């Protein structure tokens, strides 16, 4: 790879750097220009030039010097994409996954779909059978972009090596623009290996979009008339770097807050305005619900909150709900929108007080927490899932990254775990795809090297990705894994028994020693059957300095008392 400077002939644009190199050099240069520092992949010959560029070529390998981009290889392509997505969520920089042609690409489809539903900025570069052999039946010859048409912002093929840098740069720009999401590009093998000279990619500036002042005025008027408003803070608030604006808006107005997804921690645990534990009371008694940075999907009752009026605030107009009945809506940069709402509220001649309402929800939250005490301290055997959280919560640092990958067991986490810092919660999101956990854990350890990283696993979900403990071990990424092992598909077994009075295909092996799997892969762990031993086992896990699984055998008869089904 060679970069040179050329003078613009007109003398106005100054010097434009030219890059000479193979297709991998051009793609990696574009990613670096967008702040990307890590490539997640599983090895495949179709994409070798991308690896060569990432590590700096043979000269860097021989010299033992690091290349321009960290290269992390995993054991399944879905983990590569999940890791790239998790890294994008935590760093708020677009993620990069590289998948080899054919099955390498198709193995990543569910993970790309997860990023689509989560509005996560992500570029996936796929290998592709060579152009010069196209139509002849080459190995893994498949027209891949159509597979991604409905789950990406753009999907296409690059047929000219001189276009690779610009197309990849455009992909990162598009992925990071509201509504954020994944972009897929594949490059035929002969094109990626070919050399070309083109302008060195640069990051395109994207100007923030102001909300329509009339929309802001309408929202402020609703607040002026409200006596019992609720502010729902969703994951886009974190992604849009609007967490401080959201916290200031809540504090200034005194509106109680319910957190959703990566919106958890924007208003920290213990704050008197945090009403997530009083969610049902808040939504049933509110007269106005302002939902910021998350869709009005099944997680929020499809936007129906009793008799409350509903306002939707999002980053782009295409994200505004088309199915809920909205009293108001605003689209634009969330920091600017929330700032404009705060300014408008402060300008009101008569600003309402929500103190009594906040007190009401604070009391409901306190009652909910008090009601948890018996479950969190349960001495029942088999272990009640709540006891695991009773031991885990006091051991979590303020900046701990908590990851949920599972059904019933992780549902308890949604109730009990209240982050104290923004950007410290990861879950699969509304697509509900199991298997995100190991990829997210890899990402979290890389993005937050000094923080606790805790992966909460159901035993069913573990079957989707546990082999990637090998990745944690090879890349020296210590993670604490806590498994609720009830030996069943709990989200299916209990509902099927309710509907049919019997169940099938809902049982797993009982008390499986998943900790021995982790040990075989080079990590450590233990199985816990005594509730009194959960805490000491967690202490050993945090002190281990290696990937460590605390495999807790839990009671299969205990089901999370859920209020939503997703249908």
CATH 3.40.50.1220 fits 213-361, yes or no: yes
pLDDT in tens, 451-498: 999 999 999 999 999 999 999 999 999 999 999 999 999 999 999 999
Q: How confident is the model at residue 11 (pLDDT cuts 50, 70, 90)?
A: very low
pLDDT category of residue 9 using cuts at 50, 70 and 90 = very low
Distance CA 182, CA 94 (A): 9
- What does the pLDDT read at residue 6? 42
**What CATH number was assigned to the domain covering residues 377-553?**
3.40.50.970
Q: List, in sequence order, every residue forming a beta bridge with 195; answer none if it has no partner.
A: 22
548-553 and 524-528 strand pairing: parallel
State the residue for tokens 């592709």: 128
pLDDT tens by residue, 44-53:
999 999 999 9
- CA 404 – CA 387 distance, rounded (Å): 17
Rounded CA-CA distance 498/559 in Å is 12
Mean pLDDT value across residues 76-97? 98
What string of DSSP letters covers 463-483?
HHHGGGHHHHHHTT---EEEE
Q: What is the mean pLDDT of residues 166-176?
A: 97
CATH of 2-199, one of 3.40.50.970, 3.40.50.10860, 1.10.3720.10, 3.40.1010.20: 3.40.50.970
Write down the pTM of the prediction.
0.95
Q: What is the location of CATH 3.40.50.1220 in the chain?
A: 213-361
Residues 54-78 have a mean pLDDT of 97
- Residue 206 pLDDT: 82
Q: What is the pLDDT of residues 177-218, one digit of tens each?
A: 999 999 999 999 999 999 999 999 889 888 899 999 999 999
The alpha-helical segments, DSSP class H, found in 393-533 are 408-416, 437-447, 459-465, 469-474, 490-500, 514-520
- E-assigned strands of 206-251? 229-233
Question: Residue 176: which H helix or E strand, with range?
Answer: helix 164-176
Strand order in the sheet with 2-7: 2-7, 15-22, 195-199
Lowest mean pLDDT among 1-5, 74-78, 103-107, 331-335: 1-5
Percent of the chain with pLDDT over 90: 94
Closest CA to 482 of 455, 464, 515, 461: 455
Ordered alpha helix ranges (H), 73-156: 77-91, 103-106, 109-118, 145-148
Q: Where in the chain is the domain with CATH 3.40.50.970?
A: 2-199, 377-553
Give whole-number Cα distances, 184 to 29, 163, 167, in Å: 17, 15, 11
């Amino acid at each position: 790879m060679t970069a040179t400077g050329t003078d613009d002939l007109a003398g106005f644009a100054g010097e434009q750097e030219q890059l000479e190199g193979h297709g991998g050099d051009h793609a990696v240069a574009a990613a670096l220009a967008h702040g990307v520092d890590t490539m997640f992949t599983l090895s495949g010959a179709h994409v070798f030039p991308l690896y060569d560029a990432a590590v700096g070529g043979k000269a860097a390998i021989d010299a033992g010097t690091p290349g321009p981009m960290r290269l992390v290889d995993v054991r399944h392509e879905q983990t590569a994409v999940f890791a790239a997505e998790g890294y994008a969520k935590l760093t708020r920089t677009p993620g990069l996954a590289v998948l080899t042609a054919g099955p390498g690409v198709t193995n990543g489809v569910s993970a790309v779909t997860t990023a689509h539903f989560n509005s996560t900025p992500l570029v996936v570069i796929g290998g592709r059978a060579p152009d010069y052999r196209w139509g002849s039946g080459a190995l893994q010859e498949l027209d891949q972009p159509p597979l991604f048409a409905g789950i990406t912002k753009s999907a296409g093929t690059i047929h000219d090596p001189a276009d690779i840098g610009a197309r990849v740069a455009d992909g990162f720009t598009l992925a990071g623009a509201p509504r954020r999401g994944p972009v897929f590009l594949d490059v035929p093998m002969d094109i990626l290996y070919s050399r070309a000279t083109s302008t060195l990619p640069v990051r395109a500036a994207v100007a923030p979009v102001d909300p329509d002042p009339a929309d802001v005025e309408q929202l402020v008027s609703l607040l002026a008339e409200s006596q019992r408003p609720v502010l729902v803070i969703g994951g886009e608030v974190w992604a849009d770097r609007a967490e401080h604006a959201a916290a200031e808006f809540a504090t200034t107005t005194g509106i109680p807050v319910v957190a959703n997804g990566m919106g958890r921690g924007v208003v920290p645990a213990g704050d008197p305005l945090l009403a997530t534990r009083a969610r049902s009371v808040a939504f049933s008694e509110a007269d106005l619900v302002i939902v910021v940075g998350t869709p009005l999907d099944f997680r929020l009752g499809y936007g129906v909150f009793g008799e409350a009026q509903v306002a939707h605030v999002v980053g782009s107009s295409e994200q505004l709900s088309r199915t809920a009945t909205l009293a108001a809506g605003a689209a634009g940069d969330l920091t600017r929108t929330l700032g404009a709402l705060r300014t408008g509220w402060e300008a009101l001649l008569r600003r309402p007080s929500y103190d009594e309402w906040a007190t009401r929800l604070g009391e409901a939250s306190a009652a909910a927490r008090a009601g948890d005490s018996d479950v969190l301290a349960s001495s029942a055997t088999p272990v009640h899932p709540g006891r695991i959280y009773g031991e885990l919560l006091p051991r979590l640092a303020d900046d701990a990254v908590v990851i949920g990958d599972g059904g019933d067991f992780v549902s308890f986490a949604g109730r009990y775990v209240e982050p104290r810092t923004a950007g410290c919660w990861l879950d699969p999101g509304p697509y509900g795809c199991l298997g995100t956990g190991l990829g997210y854990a890899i990402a979290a350890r890389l993005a937050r090297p000094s923080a606790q990283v805790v992966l909460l696993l159901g035993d069913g979900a573990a079957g989707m990705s546990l082999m990637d403990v090998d990745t944690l071990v090879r890349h020296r990424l210590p993670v604490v894994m806590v498994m609720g092992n009830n030996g069943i598909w709990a989200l299916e077994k209990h509902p099927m028994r309710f509907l049919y009075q019997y169940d099938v295909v809902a049982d797993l092996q009982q008390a499986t020693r998943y900790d021995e799997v982790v040990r075989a892969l080079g990590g450590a762990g233990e199985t816990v059957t005594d509730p009194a031993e959960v805490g000491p086992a967690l202490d050993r896990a945090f002190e281990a300095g290696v990937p460590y699984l605390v495999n807790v055998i839990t009671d299969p008869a205990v089901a999370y008392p859920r209020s939503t089904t997703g249908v």
